[in-house]
Chain A
């Protein structure tokens, strides 16, 4: 039972308190508010609950998934969940009492270190809610640092990230969000970008790979942004960094990502893992928890939450953010994943993604009426232009147990026939062929 007390326990406790019933303890509650009717369904036993929830899970139809668009299906080695589901990690509290929380604290330090190594950035936080909220908080930091009022984003930033960013900055006085357009190859139009950057620009948000899967000319973009005195906030894919140029290498000031691809299941989009990094100069503008190395009184290395003067429980309304709980367990999955893979494994999985996506693009682009829309280099997803509305293709392929991709018409006007297709290492060559065959059969 959830409540352990026996009748005798309860009597002894009431006696100790000096009351004769639990009801006496509720005297401070206005009595007419007490005990409302809740009209809840009958309480289920564990056995009934298990059967009920298993039946719900069975109502989801497993499809061969070719959607990316911000959440990516990757292979998760068994050791990841075996370790992170240990009660010692799962049921621990936020490591405020550092001496009794060295395990969690060290894993966060190692997570921060792995993320810095992966990105070539100076500092990483313990985590944020997801990629979109990490971006929004990075943009808020850029506004504070520069004192400027304009946030310029790539038109090919994830549409949900744009929406979350707008929600977060809407009430900052005088702040606006503008978009920089793309050229014909699916990447930023650098001339147009030059025209939009100004002395008002606080930061430019560069996503590479962008929402269409295309890789941007990050160094050229970075130079232009810094020329304008603005900050560069990069949005990256952590698996892609196994082979791809890093935000640190192109001089990003902040770099954020959805960290879910690192050892976390898709889970219908949540929990995610917000990765948040910055140059050292902006360390004190970062939101949320950061772990650092300290010494215990015998001079031994120990780990603690540090730079807490930025945070809400100390600084209250003057904090850099209100964030308290983050996604510690997802960060743990990520650091276990990165530790298992190491630099070579991460490069391998990145190369497999490149290979499978390019193989699929080649197969699909050859089908009559279909073409890969953009010429720019891509990582693990690409835009397929179809002879019919993308929605229709998704419906048809669902009947063959294939989830064909994400229909871009919903977010991008004029792209009703465009399908965003992703192939990660989870797709075998047979899966790719099955997709091509099914698509070839669409009438």
Chain B
């Protein structure tokens, strides 16, 4: 368990005027020799002034205030916090890759282009889709790319009446936000009592105004959409496109190809499914795949192989344009490429199966104290709910904070929205049985505490560098900078 650390000062509070971390060689002439007075900065910026050693101490110390996957188990549903192999960090930091300018002559960047080309090809094989763009910087950026691709597809067919995107009420918030950004009206549909798509509700919502139906498979309550092909047929019959949110692709790779389910478009999260690190909130990468009829509308450029040379210069006349200044988060794609080269059909299948095995193990082990909201076998994550009558006024958020005291990060809480007091647990395939047993034991102890000393849980955490934070206090009079 972590000890309580003293209050940590800001870098600026440690600052001493005139102190420096880095020196550059002297200049011959100062800025005023090159720029007229009016173009010059009037006063120095209020940046910290620390030595290199102080800077190293400062950020090392800050790093120690974090939970991280390398140190702690993150049972974070929907976020797929699985191990990030160190080889990928090492390889993505090779100067041969990092010191390459995006506008350098193509003949000088064949190694990077070759990697990107084969990453596109591998993604096609794993999903069954016809083409992939690597441009999107994250999952949500991928969603926007996918929905704008769909819009370009409908527009090219002069099918302008399609103004609606259908999303289920279990969807990630990014789905409706994305549809809105793309200029569409969002139509929310209620889920069926078993947590899956309500086909009658979907049928009722579908019309010649539907542009896209966005679904997550497995869905956000951790269940496979058993009628997925029937659903895809309904969507296609209405003339709409089926967008697959690939946030949960970790449970599919090797088991099911999205193309076989009828997906027209999908994004993948390299920082979830393909083991790239989360970095405290990015950078990620959100490649978008498309079926053959939609592929011409993906962003440009894409990497092509022509006459033995890799090139970005291909013509894509129907493309929606650009989604990002350059070609994507290359350093993250490189990690995804490494992942896809380290596994094959057999091992992908094992990865997905073990992700599913682990989630069901935790679900079964917690049964009786914390029950799954949908009492059935789940895929790679399970959504737990608490019975308020047994909880002595303790809420899910309290349990989440108490878990931190036991050395575990919290599950995803209060999502999906249709489950009251939801705790969504995704162990991923890389956690051992021993680690999951320790987690289950911690949850059982918290359950006991709820019965015997609920205030301990309500006041948690007790072991972090700060106590429970009043988040509302930050929004009242925002202090967002020194």
Co-assembled chains A and B: yes
Does the CB pair A172–B183 fall under 8 Å? Answer: yes
Does the CB pair A25–B360 fall under 8 Å? Answer: yes
Asked if B29 is an interface residue, CB under 8 A from chain A, the answer is yes
A230 and B461 alpha carbons, distance in the complex (Å):
48
Asked if B350 is an interface residue, CB under 8 A from chain A, the answer is yes
Contact with A along B330-353 (1 / 0, CB 8 A): 111010011011111111111101
Identify which of A17, A82, A246, A355 contacts B360 (C-beta below 8 A): A17
Q: Which residue of B lies closest to A127 (CB)?
A: B282
Does the CB pair A317–B179 fall under 8 Å? Answer: yes
Asked if A328 is an interface residue, CB under 8 A from chain B, the answer is yes
A245 and B334 alpha carbons, distance in the complex (Å):
38
Count chain A CB atoms within 10 A of each CB in B179, B182, B282, B353 and give the residue with the most. B282
A297 and B473 alpha carbons, distance in the complex (Å):
10
Asked if B449 is an interface residue, CB under 8 A from chain A, the answer is no
Identify which of A22, A69, A304, A345 contacts B471 (C-beta below 8 A): A304
A404 and B122 alpha carbons, distance in the complex (Å):
34
Does the CB pair B125–A40 fall under 8 Å? Answer: yes
> Which residues from 298 to 352 on chain A have a C-beta closer than 8 Å to any C-beta of chain B?
298, 300-302, 304, 306-309, 311-319, 321-330, 332, 336, 338-352
Assuming A85-B89, A306-B475, is B20 touching A95 (CB within 8 A)? no
Asked if B203 is an interface residue, CB under 8 A from chain A, the answer is no
Q: Which residue of B lies closest to A125 (CB)?
A: B480
B15 cross-chain contacts in A, Cβ below 8 A: 342
How far, in Å, is B29 (CB) from chain A's closest CB?
6
B48 cross-chain contacts in A, Cβ below 8 A: 110, 114, 338-339, 342
Asked if A158 is an interface residue, CB under 8 A from chain B, the answer is yes
Asked if B445 is an interface residue, CB under 8 A from chain A, the answer is no
Asked if B389 is an interface residue, CB under 8 A from chain A, the answer is no
How far, in Å, is A353 (CB) from chain B's closest CB?
10
Stretch at the interface among A5-13, A191-199, A363-371: A5-13
Does the CB pair A267–B328 fall under 8 Å? Answer: no
Identify which of A129, A167, A347 contacts B320 (C-beta below 8 A): A167
Q: Which residue of A lies closest to B432 (CB)?
A: A4
A55 cross-chain contacts in B, Cβ below 8 A: 111
Asked if A414 is an interface residue, CB under 8 A from chain B, the answer is no
Does the CB pair B126–A38 fall under 8 Å? Answer: yes
Asked if B409 is an interface residue, CB under 8 A from chain A, the answer is yes
A35 and B102 alpha carbons, distance in the complex (Å):
39
Q: What size tier do the contact residues of chain B reach?
A: 35 or more
Q: Which residue of B lies closest to A66 (CB)?
A: B101
A258 and B84 alpha carbons, distance in the complex (Å):
27
B50 cross-chain contacts in A, Cβ below 8 A: 339-340, 342
Q: Which residue of B lies closest to A14 (CB)?
A: B357
Assuming A38-B345, A88-B66, A292-B474, is B104 touching A63 (CB within 8 A)? yes
Identify which of B10, B42, B64, B97 contacts A267 (C-beta below 8 A): B97
A50 and B25 alpha carbons, distance in the complex (Å):
37
Asked if B174 is an interface residue, CB under 8 A from chain A, the answer is yes
Contact with A along B59-82 (1 / 0, CB 8 A): 110111111111110101001010
Does the CB pair B474–A92 fall under 8 Å? Answer: no
Assuming A296-B469, A321-B181, is B173 touching A377 (CB within 8 A)? no
Identify which of A18, A58, A106, A295 contacts B469 (C-beta below 8 A): A295
Stretch at the interface among A178-186, A221-229, A283-291: A283-291
Asked if B52 is an interface residue, CB under 8 A from chain A, the answer is yes
A309 cross-chain contacts in B, Cβ below 8 A: 475
B93 cross-chain contacts in A, Cβ below 8 A: 81, 85
Assuming A90-B68, A167-B323, A328-B281, is B52 touching A300 (CB within 8 A)? no
Assuming A107-B62, A292-B480, is B39 touching A267 (CB within 8 A)? no
Contact with A along B23-55 (1 / 0, CB 8 A): 111011111001110111110111111101001
Q: Which residue of B lies closest to A55 (CB)?
A: B111
Identify which of B10, B96, B332, B347 contacts A57 (C-beta below 8 A): B96
Does the CB pair B21–A345 fall under 8 Å? Answer: yes
B67 cross-chain contacts in A, Cβ below 8 A: 92, 97, 100-101
Asked if A436 is an interface residue, CB under 8 A from chain B, the answer is no
Asked if A206 is an interface residue, CB under 8 A from chain B, the answer is no
B137 cross-chain contacts in A, Cβ below 8 A: 129-130, 133, 270-272, 325, 327
Does the CB pair B91–A49 fall under 8 Å? Answer: yes
Does the CB pair B102–A28 fall under 8 Å? Answer: no
Q: Which residue of B lies closest to A395 (CB)?
A: B105
Assuming A342-B47, A377-B39, A398-B105, is B224 touching A167 (CB within 8 A)? no
A252 and B98 alpha carbons, distance in the complex (Å):
33
Asked if B243 is an interface residue, CB under 8 A from chain A, the answer is no
Identify which of B35, B44, B345, B433 contacts A37 (C-beta below 8 A): B345
Does the CB pair B28–A355 fall under 8 Å? Answer: yes
> Which residues from 248 to 283 on chain B have a C-beta closer than 8 Å to any C-beta of chain A?
254-257, 260-261, 271, 277-283
Identify which of B99, B321, B401, B429 contacts A265 (C-beta below 8 A): B99
B107 cross-chain contacts in A, Cβ below 8 A: 61, 398
Assuming A62-B99, A102-B466, A172-B183, is B322 touching A91 (CB within 8 A)? no
A265 cross-chain contacts in B, Cβ below 8 A: 98-99, 331
A17 cross-chain contacts in B, Cβ below 8 A: 357, 360-361, 363-364, 377
A166 and B39 alpha carbons, distance in the complex (Å):
30
Count chain A CB atoms within 10 A of each CB in B7, B173, B431 and give the residue with the most. B173
Does the CB pair A321–B177 fall under 8 Å? Answer: yes
How far, in Å, is B383 (CB) from chain A's closest CB?
15
Assuming A292-B478, A306-B471, A348-B24, is B430 touching A338 (CB within 8 A)? no
A297 cross-chain contacts in B, Cβ below 8 A: 459, 467-470
Does the CB pair B468–A343 fall under 8 Å? Answer: no
A438 and B174 alpha carbons, distance in the complex (Å):
52
How far, in Å, is B366 (CB) from chain A's closest CB?
11
Does the CB pair B59–A10 fall under 8 Å? Answer: no
Identify which of B96, B128, B361 contacts A60 (C-beta below 8 A): B96
How far, in Å, is B437 (CB) from chain A's closest CB?
10
A243 cross-chain contacts in B, Cβ below 8 A: 31, 35, 40-41
How far, in Å, is B129 (CB) from chain A's closest CB?
13
Q: List 19 contacting pairs A-B, 8 Å CB cutoff, sorted by A.
A: A13-B357, A16-B365, A17-B360, A25-B357, A46-B87, A60-B96, A85-B93, A104-B66, A106-B8, A113-B12, A243-B40, A245-B41, A294-B474, A300-B467, A317-B176, A317-B180, A330-B282, A340-B50, A344-B20
Give 10 nearest A-B pairs by CB, closest first: A269-B326, A57-B96, A269-B102, A171-B183, A59-B111, A329-B279, A87-B70, A340-B21, A328-B281, A271-B283
Known: A27-B377, A99-B464, A398-B107. 13 other contacts (CB 8 A): A2-B430, A3-B429, A57-B111, A70-B325, A86-B63, A91-B84, A97-B400, A107-B280, A167-B322, A292-B475, A296-B467, A306-B480, A403-B105
